[in-house]
Structure 1
Amino acid sequence: MQTDNVSVVSTLNRVQGIQSPSLSLPPLKNQNMLKVTTLGKHKRFLFSSFPQFSRQPNSTKRAYSTTMEVEVKLRLPDSSSHQKLSDLLSPFHTKTLIQENIFFDGFNAELSSNLAVLRLRFYNVDSQCVVSLKAKPVISDGISRVEEDEEAIDPAIGRACVAEPWRLASVDSRIMKRVREQFGVGEKGLVCLGGFRNVRAVYDWKGLKLELDESQYDFGTSYEIECECAEPERAKKLLEGFLEENEISYSYSEVSKFAVFRMGKLP
């Protein structure tokens, strides 16, 4: 799909015309379990059979493990700034992702009251789905730090959970086990908060992985460039120099995309 230098509206219109691929599951020795596809570094985990989602009574207890996601986040003021930056970075483009982000909270706000966010993210319609749990976010001077745990699940399971959020609390996964045990999401389960779509262009630039985002909310569109790295101050200095050299206006992002979504207005 050619997606360079294309507005979010036209890109999403084309995506909406794509039929979701039919999903067929391979035969399993134990038909009560479903093996979930994993991404990259993530380990394999077993989920309960779809669509029943019943938990396995003898599942082994796992320790909670998270990573610290550190990102440079710079906000662009408008579509023209986004377009200009996209044009300048086009020689370094590697891929473009169409993301759909759907968020959940406990029935009694068990997650949000503890500064935690539970998200399902679908990639390129339904080619992939990742459940993530983020907690304790801090953003200052354009650098964001947040505890993050991610796990890939079957997109069909993800779609079923969006349609019926109670199913997600019953999924037998590492992250959902943590949601139940650490955050105390009980029998009333989860509620779906809704979400937003994002077009993410990815670039390999000067040894950095840059992500240029065009996020479409019900109340407007925002633009941002992000860079996840181990040396955020160095990356921020390089990015700021590049933007200033090319006379592209920017400001430090002060809140996350989820916070913008919950506020219901653009920053």
Structure 2
Amino acid sequence: MEVEVKLRLPNAEAHRQVTTLLAPFHVTTHRQHNLFFDGAAAELSSKRAVLRLRFYNDDSRCVVSLKAKAVLVDGVSRVEEDEEDLDPKVGRDCVAEPGKLGSVESRILGRVKEEFGVAGENGFVGLGGFRNVRNVYEWKDLKLEVDETMFDFGTLYEIECESADPEEAKRLLEDLLKENGIDYSYSVASKFAIFRSGKLPQ
């Protein structure tokens, strides 16, 4: 179970304020390309599951992940998540021809076949995806991820923080933003849900 605090920033200016404020705590920056897949008969989405390939920094790394049963309440997200590394070249081949996902040696893709019944060359379809620039910070024993997510229909700005004590992490983050006069709101939908809706949340 992955538990994360998710706070939405209203615009590029608020995002710039946060990244400037956290600059002394910066650890790394990831340029991510997220691409999503389903079964040809919507076997995954019909059961609230998401299959994703995430490429890092121009294919230096590829991670396949399966997420299920996501719940997002008051800026705290809870989701079942399983992930593993995949050869980036194999990943790109699957993006070009989603049917190839059915023959990749992978624990997670094995689960997709067994638990959701998606298999065969015509079993998988590509849904498209989006790009994300993720700045990672270590601040007050928390790992903060500040995202700039570029959809075809607009850009979303968000702070994420995975924590075993999400309420305390949320309190620390909210105090930081309030003390510095930075507007924010609780995220109301996952990036995947926003991508599928085709528009930014109001």
- 3-state SS of paired residue (1:125): coil
Report % sequence identity.
Answer: 68
Q: 1:196 aligns with which of 130, 154, 158?
A: 130
Instruction: Give 3-state SS (helix, strand or coil) of 1:101's partner.
Output: strand
* C-alpha deviation, 1:69, in angstroms: 0.4
Q: TM-score, normalised by structure 1?
A: 0.74
* Residue of structure 2 aligned with 1:131, choices 64, 80, 100: 64
Q: Distance in 2 between matches of 1:159 and 1:180?
A: 20
Is 1:180 the counterpart of 2:113 in the alignment? Answer: yes
Q: Distance in 2 between matches of 1:175 and 1:101?
A: 17
Structure 2 distance, partners of 1:154, 1:186, is: 20
Higher helix share: 2
Structure 2 residue 22 is matched with structure 1 residue 79: no
1 or 2 for the larger relative contact order (CA 8 Å, sep ≥6)?
A: 2
User: Structure 2 residue aligned with 1:258, among 192, 195, 198?
Assistant: 192
Tell me what 2:178 maps to: 244
- 1:207 matched to 2:141? The reply is yes
Q: How many residues align?
A: 200
State whether structure 2 residue 82 is matched by structure 1 residue 153: no
Q: Shift of the alpha carbon at 1:173?
A: 1.0
Deviations 1:1-23 (A, max 9, x none): xxxxxxxxxxxxxxxxxxxxxxx
The one-letter code matched in structure 1 to 2:183 is S
SS at match of 2:58: coil
Alignment of 1:228-243 (within 5 A): 228-243=162-177
More strand by share: 2
Structure 1 position 186, deviation (Å)? 3.4
Q: Secondary structure in 2 aligned to 1:131?
A: strand
Q: 1:14-163 alignment to 2 at 5 Å?
A: 68-163=1-96
Output the aligned Cα RMSD. 0.6
The whole-number CA distance in structure 2 between the counterparts of 1:219 and 1:175 is: 31
CA distance in 2, matches of 1:221, 1:138: 23
TM-score by length of 2: 0.98
Q: Is there any run of 5+ residues in structure 2 with no aligned partner, and where?
A: none
Which structure 1 segments of 5+ residues have no match? 1-67
Query: Offset of 1:170 from its aligned partner?
Result: 1.5
Question: 2: CA distance between counterparts of 1:172 and 1:181?
Answer: 14
Give the C-alpha shift of residue 169 in structure 1: 1.7
